[in-house]
Structure 1
Amino acid sequence: MKYFLLFSLWAVTAQAQLSPNGATASFKGSLPPKPVAALSAEQEAGIAKELAAVTQSFKAVKKHPRAADADIFLKAVRYALEFDEWYDKKSEDGVKKAMALLDEAKKRIASLAKNETPWMNGSGQKVLGFYSKIDDSPQPYGVEVPEGLEFGAGKKPVPMWIWLHGRGDTATDLPFVYSRLMAKKTGQFQPAGTIVIHPFGRYCNGWKSAGETDVFECRDDAMKRFNVDTNRVALAGFSMGGAGAWHMGAHYADQWACVHTGAGFADVKRYQKLTPEKYPVWYEQSLWGVYDVPDYARNFFNVPLISYSGEVDAQRDSAEYMMEVLAKQDLHPPHLIGPGMPHKYHPEVIKEVQAWIEKAVASGRVLFPDEVHIQTKTPFYGRMKWLNLHGMEESWKEARLDARVVDGQTIEIKTQNVTRIVFYPPPQARKGGGSLKVMIDGSELKLRVGPLSPQFETFMSPGPKVAGALCRLIKENGVWRDFGNEEPFQHEGPAGGKAGAHPGPMDASFMKRFLVVLPDGKSSSPAVDAWVNAESAHFIQRWKGLMRGEVRVVKASDVGDVYEAGKMQSLILWGTPESNSCLKQIAGSLPLQWNAEKMAMAGQSFDAKTHVPLLTYPCLKSPGFEVVVNTGLTFREAHDKTNSLQNPKLPDWAILEISQQPGAESAGKVVAADFFDDHWQVKKK
């Protein structure tokens, strides 16, 4: 009877978590979903009137350094009105929450006007905000401060946990902020003497794309406010948060004192139970390598890891699979099992998990270990500790970089599918009086090395440049050589190949500051113009609804010189060289021929009146930024049913036939698509 009940519970749990089509039980066909109890016209009008009044008063404090602490409330109510985000059983409760947020906004605005921030004082639950560097949007996060903890300038640095929340289709800004503002209960863990922050993560995207950058931005904001010890920060999460901890733990293993993954998926194919006949097109399979954690397993050599699963939780399979993958690398982290538990923590085992994390945090992050290991499919995720995989022979194929300090003046490096390396020799390897011996793939190099940058120990940024602080190696014709420090890598152009700053695909550009540039004219094709107008508007609204920010938008005529305007950001150019004057400026440097009648790429020709190109490409004339043409995020509404599908769907370039109407899965019919090679050239057939 015991085993029968166990099997029955497993079946019910599995069905509740993931239906046969891969959808979560809470998915109702859109994000954000339709309201549960829609407000009446009078109720909405009342909220809108109050919002307008508070928004007007906010203008007086808009430039205050902590203005985001008030702005998050205004945005939450504004978005709830725009997207009809009312998820309580009674409309009156939605009104109550909106008014509570506006009341809090008024209090904070009054305090900011006096240059005061009383909500920062003392212990307990807090909800704070920051302005994102990506799109300038105010983004919220929650904070738990234990009773009696002293923090801030002049106090002893405190440890911090980052807790990644699980999926909640209705957990948009208003419910998230309200729950943090009015919360009475603490979170899953209450580590002693430790700040716990709860990123919003741009709502419901599996901690990918802008959700990923959101974690780092709120981490950095909290670090400054609470005087956090940068070497005692833990990353943890459960369910979707567990998936985020797997992903961000593997891709950024050097940023954490330890990583805890609770009941989260780790890849696409196994989690979605895909068999070969159900595989997507080849380039989408390659792009699983952006986030699939098994492709980054060796990175867990660089950080302590502990996992948890409920005994009868269907998502236990993901953790078991990762244990198999890690074991093949001779890694054997603890995987604790909650006896009899479905998709939740066991009340006793959670204590073991907490004790383990607290011990790892107390030990702290090792900044300069003797060994560093990197495994990746893209240079975008090529940095770890003092080592940076800066370029690859072929992206989206496995690359490895393993380095170890042999003695006080020798470092041994082994590589696979790597062409460029930047590394900061750690202190224990800088004892050779300014000389360093590097044994790389069996060859010996003699390098000169200077002192470390004074600020490098923070590992947030390398700090001011110090001559000779870093070393750079490049592989040419199968031979490694010292590239020196004087000549810059031409990493944004075809001669230098792809690098971590911009390796593609198109979606990567939406993880940095970007500017949408709309047409300032018309093309020769009304059909193309109609598609451009509809798809650009679709992206702007989708970013707002799913990524919870307002896209920065200008017309091409307002940009001016694209090479000057585009520094340090991505330019998202919509239209054609006829309709967009910015596209016209750079059309000659793009790897396609494109006029009013036809476009040609990769040896193929297409009718320009019924086809549009989508691509990402580095700006060769003014290195440091890239252009993206005719696309926003390439995963669409149909992929929101499960966070495991919210991945890039198109490679570096694609040609769409627009006679097929845009839908929930694609913006048109893909008739050609591929990656550029690692020198930004069109691949030969």
Structure 2
Amino acid sequence: MKTGPLHLFLLVAGLANGWGQLGPNGATASFRGSLPPPPTADLTADQERALQAELAGVEEKFRAVAKHPQAADVEIFLKAVRYALEFHEWYDKKPEDGLNKARVVLEEAQRRLDGLRRNETPWVQGSGWKTLGFYSRIDGSAQPYAVEIPQGLEGPSPRPVPMWIWLHGRGDTATDLHFLHGKLTARKPGQFQPAGALVLHPFGRYCNGYKSAGETDVFEARDAAMTRFRVDPDRVALAGFSMGGAGAWHLGAHYADQWACVHAGAGFVDVKRYQKLVPEKYPSWYEQKLWGTYDVPACARNFLNVPLILYSGELDPQRDAAEYMMEILAGEGLRPPHLIGPGMGHKYHPETLKEVQRLVEEAVAKGRNPWPREVHLQTANPWHRELFWVHIEEFMEPWKEARVDAEILEAEGVIRVTTRNVAKVRIDRNSTTRDHKIVVDGREQPAAETVADAKPRPKPFLGPIDAAFRERFVVVLPERQGAHPEVDRWVQAESARFLKRWRSLMRGDAIVMKASELRAETPGTRVLWGDPLSNPAIAAVADRLAAQWEGDQVRVAGQSFPGSHHVPVLIQALPDGTRVVLNSGLTFREAHDRSNSLQNPKLPDWAVLDIAQPPGPETAGKVVAADFFR
């Protein structure tokens, strides 16, 4: 996820739409039954046909510039209109208003096409809002982002400048079209106007709480912006409000080495407390473990590495999350400023907002130390296991809280490390610490076992299944009939459901390949659907899979199930390093979209589904067995 020691100021704005309030079913106030929600004023059939024809005309012209380095600046608009048509994303009072938005976006695409033909990008010049794009490494899709350039920074900067990243709050109707149109037509600056700094607005792949591909999007947008603007990598900070506050909490904690400052406002920090779950309502044991993927209390100690500034409205129910975190942080010896907006509900008080900005600007001005003397790493998941020069290579027990506290003792020539639930730790050294001894838990360690001074080694791949969809993946569908007709029908329906859900929620077209197109060097996790009879790609690796088909039985982890109505789903690294997902997409489903706090992994490394129970909005079948491989 990280490409280097960058510090961005990540600001996340919330919408004043009641996002912070949960209904009796744990849903946010804005939820209307699906994401994206049904249209408010759908286009007529004639309007759809006319818009489809206009889109097709611009798409045809786009082919001539599709290989231009800045082609994503155009394709973001084409994708926005295509998805709006497919999912009926029309949320204005009248159909004509939605149609006009789409035409504004297509007109901008046409203007940019003309510019790329001349190898010019005038839309980046000058001050104000700049709406841009990049191609994601996950699926190759064009993803949008925006940058605010203040007056005085519109030309080449003589020295690197700070950058604040602003993540939007929950907006169920803020799909690509509406995000882009809003930025193209914006006449006012965002919530904060930092002096002498850029403000980056990632899309975050729509509405997922900056998790899964949304988490990756924040870093990809950051990297894309930094290739186009001269940014000081040590003066970038993170902040957020509402859904963005939740994103600031989790990204701030899990990537504490990436920010000059973290500002979290009015965002949830965990599942159990936010959803007000009582023991009789707890989910399965493994889903409770998987809460550690994004729950912030289990990694609160990481805020010892970065300045943290909190905000709550005095009357906002979301204030509870901040007060809860203040208790946890106090237990770690940390008492960050928690500013309260007097009389405020779920929004900033204008005067308190000024104080928040002042504190953040002070922290950004000081900048980040890319090689601090002390590092404190706490994690409850195998995804987020490195900060600065400390890396957990192996856990004693995965999915259980682990800690590393490391300190450089210059006078003694020692790097002192203490650990908890860590089987192997890697300590990077620089020119000033190259000759230091490394003492782990009171014992001096051989350098070969604890230090990697050259290129970092690849991380061993760990699940759960959803881990695959944070990075590049390719989907391979069945090509013929499998062993059981019911399983074939389930595979066809569930694979189609996943591809559609990836478009509707994660706003990209998944890469789909035939088994014959796969090569050893094909990058990414292979997401294989079917069984060895229906999918040649599964047949090619069947002898190495943890799931085995034996006659009419399917066998996983020493357990056998009737293959006629049981499907194995799993994630696995094969001996040659190839990563495979079997019969699964995102494991959180449509019903979980009612609250971003529920958009978390639901299955561990493997499971067996009884498909006699039909797929629904919460599960793909009845889970009859599930576990982690380790």
Q: 1:615 aligns with which of 564, 570, 578?
A: 570
Aligned-partner SS, 2:445 = strand
What amino acid sits opposite 1:545 in the alignment?
A: S
Verify the 8 A CA contact 1:13 1:342 in the aligned structure 2.
no
Which of residues 629, 639, 660 is equivalent to 2:582?
629
Change (3 A) 1:15 1:377: closer
Corresponding residue pairs, total: 614
Question: Are residues 116 and 596 of structure 1, via their aligned partners in 2, closer, same or farther at CA, if it must alter by over 3 Å?
Answer: farther
1:396 is aligned to 2:399: yes
In the other structure, the counterpart of 2:22 is: 18
* Secondary structure of 1:268 counterpart: coil
* Paired position in structure 1 for 2:227: 224
Contact conserved, 1:297 with 1:326, CA < 8 A, in 2?
Answer: yes
CA contact (8 A) 1:502 1:508 kept: no
**Residue 477 of structure 2 is aligned with which of 496, 507, 518?**
518
Unaligned runs of 5+ in 2: 1-15
The residue that corresponds to 1:458 in the other structure is none
SS at match of 1:337: strand
* Mapped contact 1:505–1:616 kept (Cα < 8 A): yes
* Residue 523 to residue 38, structure 1, CA distance change in 2 (3 Å): same
Aligned to 1:536: 495
| Contact persistence 1:656–1:669 (CA under 8 A) | yes
Superposed, 1:133-532 pairs within 5 Å as 133-152=137-156, 155-407=158-410, 409-430=413-434, 435-445=435-445, 447=447, 472-473=449-450, 500-532=459-491
Is 1:75 aligned to 2:34, yes or no?
Answer: no
**What is the SS of the residue equivalent to 2:335?**
coil
**Corresponding residue of 1:683:** none
Q: Which residues in structure 2 correspond to 1:21-32 (within 5 Å)?
A: 21-32=25-36
Deviation sequence 1:335-354 (CA, Å, 0-9, x none): 11000100000000000000
2:9 — aligned with what? none
Q: What code does the residue aligned with 2:260 have?
A: A
Contact 2:125 2:154 in 1 (8 A): no
SS of residue in 1 equivalent to 2:422:
coil
* Alignment equivalent of 2:555, drawn from 593, 600, 610: 600
Q: Are residue 667 (structure 1) and residue 620 (structure 2) matched? A: yes
SS in 2 for 1:232: strand
| Residue 596 to residue 545, structure 1, CA distance change in 2 (3 Å) | farther
1:15 deviates by: 9.7
Query: Could you state the TM-score of these two structures normalised by the residue count of structure 1?
Result: 0.87
Q: State percent identity of aligned pairs.
A: 60
Q: Is the 8 A contact 2:115 2:121 kept in 1?
A: yes
Runs of 4+ in 1 over 6 A off after TM superposition: 12-16, 484-489
**Separation (CA, whole Å) in 1 of partners of 2:353 and 2:432:** 38
Q: State the Cα distance separating 1:423 from its structure 2 match.
A: 2.1
2:10 matched to which residue of 1? none
User: How far 1:76 sits from its partner (Å)?
Assistant: 0.6
Q: Which amino acid aligns with 1:548?
A: R
Of 185-194 and 407-416, deviating more is 407-416
SS in structure 2 of the partner of residue 241 of structure 1: helix
Q: Match of 2:517?
A: 558
Contact 1:203 1:211 in 2 (8 A): yes
Amino acid at match of 2:176: D
What is the distance in 2 between the residues matched to 1:488 and 1:406? 24
- Taking the TM superposition and a 5 Å limit, the aligned residue runs for 1:546-585 are 546-559=505-518, 561=519, 564-566=520-522, 568-585=523-540
**Superposed displacement of residue 14, structure 1:** 7.9
1:402–1:550 distance in 2 versus 1, CA, 3 Å? same
> Structure 1: how far apart are the matches of 2:101 and 2:154?
31
Deviations, residues 554-573 of structure 1 (Å, cap 9, x unaligned) = 122332x5xx044x411101
> What residue in structure 1 maps to residue 122 of structure 2?
118
Is the Cα–Cα contact under 8 Å of residues 423 and 472 in structure 1 kept in the other structure?
no
Does the C-alpha gap of structure 1 residues 487 and 290 become closer, same or farther in structure 2, counting only changes over 3 Å?
Answer: closer
Output the aligned Cα RMSD.
1.8
Quick check: 1:149–1:193 contact (8 Å CA) kept in 2? yes
Aligned amino acid, residue 579 of structure 1: S
SS at match of 1:333: coil
Sort the Cα spacing of 1:215 and 1:16 in 2 relative to 1 into closer, same or farther, 3 A: closer
SS of 1:419's equivalent?
Answer: strand
Is 1:520–1:579's contact at 8 Å kept on the other side of the alignment? yes
The residue number in structure 2 matching 1:92 is 96
Q: Deviation of residue 366 (structure 1)? A: 0.7
- In 2, Cα distance between the equivalents of 1:72 and 1:502? 32
Instruction: Give the Cα–Cα distance (whole angstroms) in 2 for the partners of residues 144 and 674 of structure 1.
Output: 46
Question: C-alpha offsets along residues 602-628 of structure 1, whole Å, 9 cap, x if unaligned?
Answer: 3321011110100000021x22x4100
Q: Note closer, same or farther for the CA distance 1:665–1:446 as it changes in structure 2 (3 Å cut).
A: closer
How far did residue 262 of structure 1 move?
Answer: 1.0
Residues 1:443 and 1:224: Cα distance change in structure 2 (over 3 Å)? same
Say which is worse superposed, 178-187 or 414-423, in terms of deviation.
414-423
From 39, 61, 64, the equivalent of 1:60 is 64
Partner Cα separation in structure 2 for residue 326 and residue 319 of structure 1: 10
Deviates more, 1:219-228 or 1:154-163: 154-163
